[in-house]
Amino acid sequence: MAKLTRIKESRKPRKLTLSPTKLNTYLSCRLAYKYTYIDRIGRFFYKPKSFHTFGATLHRALDEFHKQGGAHTQSADDLVNTMRSMWSDVGYGSKLEETEHLAAAEQLLGQYHQEHIIEGAKTLFTEKQLRVDMGEFVLMGRVDRIDEHADGSLEIIDYKSGRLHVTEEEVRQDLAMGVYTLLASRLFAGRRITATIYALRSNQKATVEHTTDELAELEAMIRLLAAEIAQVDRDSDIEPTWKPDICPYCDYLRLCRKSAGWEEPSTE
């Protein structure tokens, strides 16, 4: 028993691991971050949502499409049939809503297949996890797709199933795309790297190339955030704060209402 105790006491604490999702959660609501990643109570409050199911299905279908050789070996019908085999009705409020989303998925995947033939890039990875030890913490992110172009440059592509439009400025300001580029610049040193958000519903995309200064500024911000986040533990006392753009849609709303004594979710 004494030996086991010594081993337990000598074990080092696990290094903080951060991802775009964790960073965005913390920036949106520190209490939601604590509930999700420290207290780990999300499974008791999470409610399935149709847009989560829709997006996850499309991501899985596109992942399999590229693993099977993409448009060179898979027809548009093959892609749609793959999606259908993965389809889930979780989160949809009615059969009509599900049917409408299925039809939309078929249409946008057909458009995607045609566009992929035109662009002609070589897909190196899909659903690729990028991970870099930053010293005080580990930074990681899962990229939807990484393509290699004829000039040797790499293009990081992130699918968005709910967006109709995207601009270059939105890509440049997107935290996840910045993190992916920062990670790729460490893992694929010397390569030119671009970042693309692909709005699947409209078949529209926007691409940017982050500058060295932008990546340095992003890294500095993440290091500051990491220092803050590292201080959050189970004993941290974080009071609920009403945020009209976030709280009405949050799975933890009823928990915060009870804790803060909110009678109704006011927008004031």
pLDDT at 136: 96
CATH of 50-228, one of 3.90.320.10, 3.40.50.300, 3.40.190.10, 3.80.10.10: 3.90.320.10
User: Domain boundaries in the chain?
Assistant: 50-228
Is the predicted pLDDT of residue 118 greater than 90, yes or no?
Answer: no
Range with lowest mean pLDDT among 11-15, 187-191, 216-220: 11-15
Alpha-carbon dihedral 158, 216, 27, 90, rounded to 10 degrees: 20
Quote the tokens at residue 60: 């899985």
Is the predicted pLDDT of residue 190 greater than 60, yes or no?
Answer: yes
pLDDT at 267: 45
Mean pLDDT of the chain: 92
Give the pLDDT band of residue 62 (cuts 50, 70, 90).
very high
Q: Residue written as tokens 């829709």?
A: 54
pLDDT at 2: 53
Quote the tokens at residue 109: 């995947």
pLDDT at 6: 52
Residues 197, 180: Cα–Cα separation, whole Å: 12
Quote the tokens at residue 106: 């078929």
Give the pLDDT band of residue 265 (cuts 50, 70, 90).
very low
Whether 36 contacts 42, CB under 8 Å: yes
Is the predicted pLDDT of residue 39 greater than 80, yes or no?
Answer: yes
Residues 55, 12: Cα–Cα separation, whole Å: 38
pLDDT digits (tens, 9 = 90+) for 63-82: 999 999 998 899 999 999 99
| 3-state secondary structure string across 4-60 | HHHHHHHCCCCCEEECHHHHHHHHHCHHHHHHHHHCCCHHHHCCCCHHHHHHHHHHH
